[in-house]
């Protein structure tokens, strides 16, 4: 998911440089959304791992 975030960020930067502001804003919005979804899933995964680590297998 982080890969897609970076791809949309690159698309937004290129579109912004070329003057396609509508495309740049849309791509930046998608990149921002994907980054926050990634961040939430990462925190949930980290929390699950830390709570599971206390039990012996």
3-state SS of 15-37 is: HHHHCCHHHHHHHHHHHHHHHHH
Q: How far is CA 20 from the centre of its chain?
A: 22
Comparing 53 with 12, the larger pLDDT belongs to: 12
For residue 56, give the DSSP letter: -
Residue 54 lies in a domain: no
SS3 state at 55: coil
Residue 51 has pLDDT above 70, yes or no: yes
In terms of pTM, does the model score above 0.75? no
> Token pair for residue 26?
């849309």
Q: What is the number of structural domains in the chain?
A: 1
SS3 state at 47: helix
Structural domain containing residue 10 = 2-49
């Amino acid at each position: 998911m982080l890969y897609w975030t970076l791809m949309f960020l690159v698309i937004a930067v290129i579109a912004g440089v070329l003057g396609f502001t509508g495309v740049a804003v849309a791509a930046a919005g998608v990149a921002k959304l994907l980054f926050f979804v990634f961040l939430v899933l990462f925190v949930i995964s980290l929390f699950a791992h830390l709570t599971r680590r206390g039990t012996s297998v």
